[in-house]
Every structure is written in structure tokens, then in C-alpha cells.
Amino acid sequence: MCRHLAWLGRPRSLASLVLEPPSSLLVQSWAPRRQRYGTVNADGWGVGFWADGRLARWRSPRPLWADPSFASVAPVLRSGCVVAAVRSATVGMPLEEGAAAPFTDGRALLSHNGRVSLDALPASRAAESTVDSALLAALVFQRGLDAIGDVVREVAAADPAARLNLIAADGRRLLATTWGDTLCVLVTDEGTALASEPWDDDPAWSDVPDHTLVEVTPDGVRLTPLDHPEPPA
């Protein structure tokens, strides 16, 4: 449904993360290599990052390739904690800036790669859009990032067909889940990247098993299995 990535480490330009790699999010907008659902990601994009201690975000409902303004400034914007995404909208969902990840509550960022029935999510005035991803983000923000694994299990119990790959960040760490789609991790001397699919052919990329909670801190990467939920009675 979407492609997303995150970076935690030494500050890098947004262009080096989003635009310049040979299979960057820009390329994945029209030619993803490992996408299981959908073929292009042209229904919006977004980048959130911390700079000088402040959280900033840039989103658009247009395809990433159609935004030359971002391309002109991305080489000079640098951050050590970034979440970015390109969107493939679920049929029937609105095409609007507020529906593009990453979502925020002003303190954290969250991106969702997947889909979930709206019936499995509570209504929320805090959600930035009526789309499933925005409602899911609002639920995680309400519960707190430390509850992200519990939220995924509970939503999956309510909608067994849900795909719930999430990436969240609070400026100091990354949290992610795999639930029905791909996620890869790359650990380098400069930091750690998480991505729906590798942005290049570096053999250091490794696949994260399905139904896994990922935590990335400056001290390293921790993987914790997520138990399959019991369906509601």
C-alpha cells in the first residue's frame, strides 16, 4: 500500500535518504521492487524530521516526483532522526495532504504501511484525516509509543486481515512493527535505517521477520516477536 523508511544516527541530508539512493523512495514511487500490494505510490508523500531539537514535517498529496520544491531544498536539510513515506491510497480513501504519512501529535511521528478496516479503529478527533492510517496513528499516540506492539495485536484481533507495518520515532529512537508486509534493517557505522525495501543492493540489509517489534536506539537494534492475537469472542 505504501513504502516508508526511517533513519536514526548521524545527521544526513534528506536527499541522501529519500531522493538519491538507486532505489530511493522517489524511485519506489513508480517502481518499487518488493511491493506486494499495489504497483505505484503516487498518492502523496511526507517527510518528518528533527532539526535543532524541533520536529518539522513536509507533506503533499501529489507524487513525490512532482514536487521540485522539495528536491531543491532536500540536499541542505539534515537530521539524525527521519521518517519518510510515499503513499498508495486504499480504494475509497481520500487523496489529501492530511492522509499522507508521517502523522504526528507534535511530539512523535508515525507511518503506516498496510490497511485496516475502519470498523476496527475507534473514532478520534485527534486524527489528521479519516483514513485508516491516520486513525491508527491517533490510537498509537493516545496510548503512547511504548504500547505500539499492544495496539497492533489488538487491532489485528479486531481485523484479522489487517496489515500493520508501522514505523514510529520520537527523536531519540525508532519503533517499528512487521505485520503482513516487508521491512528491512541496515546497520552502519553512522546509524541504522529501517525501510519497506532496501534502497540499494548493499548485502548488509537484512529482512525483519513478520510479526516482530523493532526498537532502534543509539545502542543498537532489538527484535521482539509479537504474538499472534486471539480473535475476539
Distances (CA, A) of 159 to 53, 144, 152, 155, 230: 38, 21, 10, 6, 11
The yes-or-no answer on residue 2 being catalytic is: yes
Whether cis (ω within 30° of 0) applies to the bond prior to 61 is: no
Spatial separation of the C-alpha atoms in residues 219 and 157, rounded to whole Å: 33
Spatial separation of the C-alpha atoms in residues 172 and 189, rounded to whole Å: 17
Using an 8 Å Cβ cutoff, are 134 and 140 in contact? Answer: no
Spatial separation of the C-alpha atoms in residues 215 and 200, rounded to whole Å: 22
Q: Which of 194, 164, 174 is nearest to 81 (CA)?
A: 174
Active-site annotation holder among 2, 77, 127, 175: 2
Kindly list the catalytic residues.
2
